[in-house]
Structure 1
């Protein structure tokens, strides 16, 4: 509306990076491109993370056969991603807006569950979008590239450790299983020790951290839900009769008194007598 088409196009493009199937925004972006006569020129992702461009460059170098340049950029992308991930976790801590007034312990439980959900969402929120598709298992994917690139550089020690790191996130990958078998079979040739088949330290830390967060969140959903038993039930007041009996009904000797005497002065049954019907 302010006739700032460049910013409108960048905002629409940024939104589509996280919501690639949003048809209305895609139409808006196409319209903005036409108005700007931009054609297929690349647009700016206003929320792009620093590791995304480095990762894409590493992949391009890998595909071109420049494995040394690819490993350097991929290692940098991995380190930058882990730094951003740590900042994302830290951002989930601290003060939260409280919209409901609850007792102390339920309020603390809700705060804990909300913080956990935020931390679990960090992994998905930081996953880059490449060509309209999210890079699933982003950290594992980087280790996959590193494994083969290091192998092509004849750095089998780093290749084996990258393969073991990848297996933390996808232990059923048959291709990587075969790669590890190959490295173990030729371990004497390359002078590999058992420690060379262990995952890298940062991979272990990231894997254990994300797995623990998911387990804690599942626990919170199961056992830290709001307890409705502590809420006071609505008090149901006794309903008074519309026409209460008057005092005159209880004056004199009538059916009321006869009923009392009949209940209290009847003959007691002896043992063996048949009960009255």
Structure 2
């Protein structure tokens, strides 16, 4: 209930960009039926994390490493906050008119929810100079890694490097950076814990990866309209979510 105002605002903002999205229109209709909902309908389009990111990159390009780090470290949690609010907005009610198709309706709704959630990351990615920032979360860790390194703060640089590699495992430059940090670990007093990805990066990676896996699984298993198979598939999906 505490997240309802945020969910309503996020749903409204999403619809401004995607006015034809049927599922979010249904969610918004449901939200509007709630008492006091009108108070929470506002545009979240002015993204504070985007302003922070641009400021951080500008400072980075000017070799103002400390300023860049400060703004980028604010941009990260701000983006994650918007992302998880977007996920919450994807959850909505659905009227089931025909009980005979109860399980099929649940399955269809589940796929729609997953489709909506998968779009959250893309829809929240800043567009700068007419182009979306590729791998936005990974990019923030990339900037942080180098800025911390330039301040000789390897205890913060190394976890950022490992976090980046969660999203781009084959990046040769970052792999070499990590080898460098490992080689100098004694000089800089680095411990095993400094070579672990940051918790918020792990959570974001796990959530986005699981959503894609669940969506692919759902699309493969919903093709057959046999109710018995659909019941089994819905149970499998719920079990997958519980174990995540």
Map 1:142-157 → 2, pairs under 5 A: 142-157=140-155
Alpha-carbon distance change, 98 to 132 in structure 1, aligned in 2, over 3 angstroms: farther
8 Å contact 1:58–1:73 — kept in the other structure?
yes
In 1, the alpha carbon distance for the partners of 2:213 and 2:121 equals 15
1:115 to 113, 116, 120: 113
Name the residue aligned to 2:27. Answer: none
In 2, the alpha carbon distance for the partners of 1:224 and 1:88 equals 25
Deviation at 1:229, TM superposition (A): 8.8
2:126 to 116, 128, 147: 128
Alpha-carbon distance change, 226 to 70 in structure 1, aligned in 2, over 3 angstroms: same
In 2, the alpha carbon distance for the partners of 1:212 and 1:173 equals 22
Per the alignment, in what secondary structure is the counterpart of residue 136 of structure 1? coil
Deviation at 1:50, TM superposition (A): 1.8
In 1, the alpha carbon distance for the partners of 2:110 and 2:57 equals 39
Name the residue aligned to 1:175. Answer: 173
In 2, the alpha carbon distance for the partners of 1:185 and 1:125 equals 40
Q: Normalising to structure 2: TM-score of the pair? A: 0.72
Per the alignment, in what secondary structure is the counterpart of residue 103 of structure 1? helix
CA deviation map 1:65-88 (0-9, x unaligned): 111010010010001000000100
Alpha-carbon distance change, 100 to 64 in structure 1, aligned in 2, over 3 angstroms: farther
In 1, the alpha carbon distance for the partners of 2:209 and 2:80 equals 15
Name the residue aligned to 1:212. Answer: 210
Deviation at 1:48, TM superposition (A): 3.2
Deviation at 1:228, TM superposition (A): 6.8
Deviation at 1:226, TM superposition (A): 5.3
Alpha-carbon distance change, 48 to 178 in structure 1, aligned in 2, over 3 angstroms: same
Structure 2: stretches of 5+ with no match in the other structure: 1-16, 19-42, 229-244
Higher RCO (Cα < 8 Å, 6 or more apart) = 2
CA deviation map 1:217-265 (0-9, x unaligned): 00010002351799xxxxxxxxxxxxxxxxxxxxxxxxxxxxxxxxxxx
CA deviation map 1:23-76 (0-9, x unaligned): xxxxxxxxxxxxxxxxxxxxxx98232211111000001001111010010010
Number of aligned residue pairs: give it: 188
Q: Normalising to structure 1: TM-score of the pair? A: 0.64
1:54 to 30, 52, 55: 52
Alpha-carbon distance change, 66 to 94 in structure 1, aligned in 2, over 3 angstroms: same
In 1, the alpha carbon distance for the partners of 2:98 and 2:54 equals 44
Per the alignment, in what secondary structure is the counterpart of residue 91 of structure 2? coil
8 Å contact 1:106–1:226 — kept in the other structure?
no
In 2, the alpha carbon distance for the partners of 1:81 and 1:100 equals 40
Deviation at 1:105, TM superposition (A): 0.4
In 2, the alpha carbon distance for the partners of 1:219 and 1:228 equals 17
Whose helix fraction is larger, Structure 1's or Structure 2's?
A: 2
Alpha-carbon distance change, 95 to 190 in structure 1, aligned in 2, over 3 angstroms: same
In 2, the alpha carbon distance for the partners of 1:196 and 1:165 equals 11
Name the residue aligned to 1:80. Answer: 78
